[in-house]
Chain A
Amino acid sequence: MSGHLHEDMKSRVIDISGASPHKCMKCGKCSASCPSFDEMDIKPHQFVSYVNNGDIEALMASKSLGKCLSCFACVERCPRDVKPGKIVDAARQMLIRQQGQAMLTPEDVPELLDPEVPQQLLMSAFRRYSR
Chain B
Amino acid sequence: MSIENETFRPKIVAFCCNWCSYAGADLAGSSRLVYPADVKIIRVPCSCRVNPMFILRAFEKGADGVIMCGCHPGDCHYSTGNYYARRRMTLLFSMLDFIGVENGRTRVEWVSAAEGVKFSTTMNEFVEKITSLGPNVRLEDLRCRN
Tell me if chains A and B make direct contact, with any CB pair below 8 A: no
Which residues on A are within 8 Å of B, measured CB to CB?
none
Which residues on B are within 8 Å of A, measured CB to CB?
none
